[in-house]
Amino acid sequence: MTSDCVKELIESFSHMAPDELLDLVVRCAAAVGGTPYAGFVEVDPLQVRARLSHVLIPQDDRLDVRAWLKESDVLKELAVSSGPVLVARDPSMGAPGFLSVPVPLATRDLAHLWVAGGRFTDREEHLLGRLALACGRALEASRGLEAAARMLRSVHAFTV
């Protein structure tokens, strides 16, 4: 009986892995921004480097967002920014239009959720910020549940 209950808890806590949740968060950010481009950026603890950890970029990448992210200074700016970052769309400069908001996380120093490929307004910034807040809480909860599931597996091992 105890073994079944613990096993049920493990299955319940393991329902969605953090990486799957992050993929879903990025897809939702794209929907909120009304664009096919979105992603998640993690910043190192010293706020020196930002790296793309999850991206949603169409295969044809008509706006060349992938190259722009690598060639522009936007990742350097995200590394030191604790607030929203907006880069206006300017085809003559190769800027696809970019909006990033911080994601509040307790287990990481800084992360950002971004969308690209549009002319973003205060409305998109507000909505993306609300999404980032909710998703930050969900990501933290998911990681907590994942850790709890690992602990319960050891309990389960001694109850069978």
Domains by residue range for the chain, with CATH: 2-157 (3.30.450.40)
Reported as a pLDDT band with limits 50, 70 and 90, residue 156 is: confident
Concatenated DSSP letters of 33-56:
HTSSEEEEEEE-TTSS-EEEEEEE
- Mention every residue, 6+ apart, whose C-beta is less than 8 A from residue 159: 2, 3, 6
- Mention every residue, 6+ apart, whose C-beta is less than 8 A from residue 160: 3
Q: Please check the confidence at residue 1 and state whether its pLDDT lies above 50.
A: no
Nearest to 118 by CA among 60, 59, 36: 36
pLDDT of residue 21: 80
pLDDT of residue 75: 94
Q: Please check the confidence at residue 13 and state whether its pLDDT lies above 50.
A: yes
